Amino acid sequence: MSYPAIAQVDAYWEALRNGRLMPERAEVDPRGLECALEYAFILEHIAPGVGRIRVAGMHLSDLLGMEVRGMPMTAFFAPGDRARLSRTLEAVVSEPKVADLTLSAPRGIGRPSLSARLYLAPLGSGGGSVPRVLGCLQALGEIGRTPRRFGIEQVQTRRIVATASPQAAPVPAQRPIMPGFAESGQPYEPRRPLPSQPALRLVKSDD
């Protein structure tokens, strides 16, 4: 099966690093991912094996049937596969490596079977901040009833070898960021539910 979004994100990441160990997060320009933005995302590595979604395309929200910003990447996986995902994510950040995971979601009531691939590649943190990961999750087929969660069928990784100077490429000044893929400068806070309407109303009568 063909996963064009995965191929584009990998080619963009390789071109951006240009022989270095990895590109910096600040160098990622959404215009270079225009045809894959729906499937692309940025992870924040907040603890060993734990990645929290900072920003993501609409395809990821469609798979879970909800807003995914601030959620852990494990939310897309069946409980039995979450430890394997965490080990893979830790290898991507610490060794570092590029990972390509083959996924599947089983058939169920209102849920046709789904095939998918997940791509993870490290990004430099630029001065000791929390590391980031550039990712892409593309599923093929009808999503059906949500949320959809995947099992891991295969994990392929490749070790990154730097062949050029580690100095980062210059970032153009005042580069416009496409709406929907820019990280908020504010820490994530869960959305608070809207206050509900009172269920009872007091009626006073002097009759």
45 is in which domain, residue-wise?
Answer: 4-25+38-159
Give CA–CA dist 196/89, Å, rounded: 40
- Report how many domains make up the chain: 1
pLDDT of residue 181: 58
**Is 60 part of a structural domain of the chain?**
yes
pLDDT of residue 126: 74
Mean pLDDT over 68-91 rounds to 97
Phi (first) and psi of residue 81, to 5 degrees: -110, 0
CATH of the domain at 9: 3.30.450.20
Short-list 61, 58, 75, 145, CA closest to 106: 145
Q: Is 133 exposed, middle or buried (0-12, 13-18, 19+ CB in 10 A)?
A: buried
pLDDT of residue 125: 81
Tens digit of each residue's pLDDT (9 = 90 or more) over 95-120: 999 999 999 999 999 999 999 999 99
Distances (CA, A) of 115 to 3, 102, 104, 192: 10, 8, 5, 34
Q: Look at residue 157 and tell me whether its pLDDT is greater than 80.
A: yes
pTM above 0.85, yes or no: no
**Is 133 part of a structural domain of the chain?**
yes
**Is 87 part of a structural domain of the chain?**
yes
